[in-house]
Amino acid sequence: MENLVTKDGRILNPTLSTYLIPTIWDIPREVKSVILEYADPRGPWGARGMAEMPFIAVASALHHALREATGVWYNRFPFNAERVLRGLKGRS
């Protein structure tokens, strides 16, 4: 998802229909958030963002799960079939 390909500031994806973005069907049915009331030293007056915070760690978790399953360390997103297969072929 979100595999926007650019070069020299130009979008190389042939159409925007091939640029997939997450939808409501791509998130878990239930998310349990734990709200910690600690000031963020980098935020103005200690403010923290609230929008997508529960999902910040998802990419890292997927990355480590893929590493555990395949033994390959991927250093680019998204983990599409082509990229995973390329990594598996280069492993040997």
Flag whether 1 is in a domain.
Answer: no
Residue 12 has pLDDT above 80, yes or no: yes
Q: Is residue 15 part of a domain?
A: yes
Domain for residue 82, yes or no?
yes
Q: Which residue range forms the structural domain that includes residue 77?
A: 6-28+49-91
Q: Is residue 39 part of a domain?
A: no
**What is the full DSSP assignment across 35-86?**
------TTSGGG----SSGGGTTHHHHHHHHHHHHHS----SS---HHHHHH
**What is the C-alpha separation between 9 and 44, in angstroms, rounded?**
32
Query: Full-prediction pTM beyond 0.85?
Result: no
Summarised one tens digit per residue, pLDDT across range 57-78 is 778 888 899 999 989 988 887 8
Q: What is the pLDDT of residues 30-61, one digit of tens each?
A: 877 777 778 888 888 888 776 666 667 778 88
Q: Which residues are catalytic?
A: 52
Tokens coding 24: 């409501």
On whether residue 18 sits in a domain, the answer given is yes
Total of domains in the chain: 1
